[in-house]
Structures are given as C-alpha cells and as structure tokens.
C-alpha cells in the first residue's frame, strides 16, 4: 500500500463524516421509502450518501475497489477495498430514531485494517486502525471490564431475526443470564460495546458491509467481534461483539443452547 495507514484513516474519517452529515438532510423529514427485493427499506439518504462516498474514494484512490450495499462491487480485484454501508439501521432512520450509523471498513488483501462507525444524528464517530487503538470523537476508548454475565448488558436488534436465523435458544439463555437486555441494535450496538457502554451485542444476520468495520473496532478496543464458534470473521453472516472477560461464557451459551 503506497499510502500510510495513518493517512488512509484520516481520509476515511473525512469521507465518512461527509456522507453521514449528508444523511441529516433527510433525517426526521418526510422522505419516501422504497422496498428492496429482500424486503429491506431504502431511501434517498442511503443512495446519495453512498454515491458521495464512492465519488470521494474514486477521486482520491482510483486504483482502490469498493463494495457498497446500494451500488455493488467496483474493481473487485483491487489490493485495497472500501466496504460501505451508507445508512446502517435504515428502519431507525425512517422512524426518526438517532441510532443509525454510516459504516466504512477498509480491507487490504482481504484483511480488515480500518473501521469507522459514525452516528451522525448524535455526532458520535468511532474509528480504529490496526495497531492504533479505537477512539470515540478523538479520545481513546476500550470495552468495559466485565467478567460476569450477571452484571452484563446484552443488546440485540430484532427479536424475530434472532429466532429466524437459529439463535433463539442461545439468545433466551443469554437474556436469562445477563443483568439487562435492550434493543439498542444494528451497528450502534456494536459501537456501544466497543466504547464501554454495553457488554454483548448479538447480531444473527449480517452482510459484509454491516460487519466490515466491526472486527477492527472491537479488537483495537480490547474486545472481539466473533462468530458463534469464536472466530473473528466479517464474512460469516452473523456476529457477536463482547469483551474478552465474557468471551468464554458467551461462547459456552452459544455452543450449548
């Protein structure tokens, strides 16, 4: 990579903030909602924010590739890939709930090295790069020190999907074991774990654009983004974020429920 990781992170921060701020033009406004083939919603905010991200990336790095939720793959064989989700949590967005995020992950030869999770409605920017730690609005953050499920806060997004995608018994067991359960979900839930405001986030269904930033953000914050088998994998189609003090307890429930 000709560009330093520090410079790439700086550019990614700038691009992500611009795209996230663009979504605010439509937040809590009367915006038309369309429905995609998978029955998920999409709005002008999603499409325009991704178009903006793509334009900025292609102008700055014409040899880089892009995978985006709304407009697919560009230069799939490129050494560096930008993975984009312009509005993660579109249902929150269209209901005027500020827990939606703009996600950017950067892979080099398939490995995640940079992750950004930006909640524009609250101006909360989490960024991380391999070996550089995780920051919230420029200040270093880590996962919360918690080694007991009985004191843990568990987050999920949609209870129906937990059951639909085979996590029902494990989720129920975690709910019974944890101190509190809430649905502050989507990528914002993973952000809460990385910044020490929650302890476990269970996501039973994820695309690569949902997951791409999370591995770097959690690892650099002292936690882990993992599969139900304990593997760090952004392509598995699901993911659990937690601190290392709870990892084995969470895995034991996931494997035995």
Per DSSP bridges, beta strands 200-203 and 153-155 are parallel
Q: How many CA atoms lie within 13 A of 50 on its CB side?
A: 23
Domain boundaries, the chain: 5-141, 149-256
Cα 15 to Cα 21, 83, 104, 217, 254: the distances in Å are: 10, 13, 9, 17, 37
CA distance 202 to 242: 9
pLDDT at 51: 98
**pTM confidence score:** 0.96
CA–centroid distance for 64 within its chain: 21
CA–CA distance, 74 with 107 (Å, rounded to integer): 14
Q: What is the DSSP code (8-state) at residue 5?
A: H
Q: CA-to-CA distance for 30 and 14, rounded, in angstroms?
A: 28
CATH level 3 topology of 5-141:
Fructose-1,6-Bisphosphatase; Chain A, domain 1 (3.30.540)
- Evaluate whether 5-141 and 149-256 have a shared fold: no
Is the domain defined by 149-256 classed in CATH 3.90.1150.10? no
Q: What is residue 98's DSSP assignment?
A: S
Q: What is the token pair recorded at 45?
A: 């905010």
Q: Which of 5, 183, 212 lies closest to 102, judged by CA?
A: 212
The two tokens of residue 37 are: 């083939």
153's enclosing H/E stretch is strand 153-155
Q: What's the pLDDT score for residue 40?
A: 86
pLDDT at position 2 is 62
The pLDDT score that the predictor gives to residue 112 is 98
- Tell me the two tokens of residue 103: 């996600």
pLDDT computed for residue 229 by the predictor: 95
Per-residue pLDDT of the chain (257 residues; tens, 9 = 90+): 467 999 999 999 999 999 999 999 999 998 899 998 887 899 999 999 999 999 999 999 999 999 999 999 999 999 999 999 999 999 999 999 999 999 999 999 999 999 999 999 999 999 999 999 999 999 999 999 999 999 999 999 999 999 999 999 999 999 999 999 999 999 999 999 999 999 999 999 999 999 999 999 999 999 999 999 999 999 999 999 999 999 999 999 999 98
The answer to whether 220 touches 129, Cβ cutoff 8 Å, is: yes
Q: Where are the alpha helices (DSSP H) in the chain?
A: 5-23, 44-60, 90-94, 159-164, 168-177, 186-194, 208-211, 214-220, 244-256
């Amino acid at each position: 990579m000709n560009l330093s990781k520090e410079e790439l992170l700086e550019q990614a921060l700038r691009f992500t903030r611009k795209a996230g701020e663009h979504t605010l033009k439509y937040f809590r406004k009367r915006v038309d909602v369309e429905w995609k083939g998978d029955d998920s919603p999409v709005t002008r905010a999603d499409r325009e924010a991704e178009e903006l991200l793509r334009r900025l990336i292609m102008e700055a790095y014409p040899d880089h590739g892009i995978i985006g939720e709304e407009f697919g793959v560009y230069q799939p064989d490129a050494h560096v890939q930008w993975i984009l989700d312009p509005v993660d949590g579109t249902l929150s967005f269209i209901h005027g709930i500020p827990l939606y995020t703009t996600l950017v992950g950067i892979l080099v030869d398939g490995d995640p090295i940079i992750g950004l999770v930006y909640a524009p409605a609250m101006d909360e920017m989490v960024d991380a790069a391999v070996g550089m730690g995780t920051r919230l609005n420029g200040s270093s953050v880590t996962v919360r020190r918690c080694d007991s499920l009985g004191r843990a806060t568990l987050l999920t997004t949609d209870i129906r999907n937990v059951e639909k995608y085979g996590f029902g018994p494990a989720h129920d067991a975690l709910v019974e074991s944890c101190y509190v359960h809430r649905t502050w979900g989507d990528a914002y839930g993973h952000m809460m774990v990385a910044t020490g405001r929650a302890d476990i986030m269970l996501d039973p269904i994820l695309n690569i654009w949902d997951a791409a930033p999370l591995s770097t953000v959690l690892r650099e914050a002292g936690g882990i983004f993992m599969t139900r088998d304990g593997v760090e994998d952004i392509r598995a189609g699901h993911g659990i974020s937690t601190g290392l003090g709870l990892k084995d307890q969470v895995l034991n429930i996931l494997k035995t429920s």
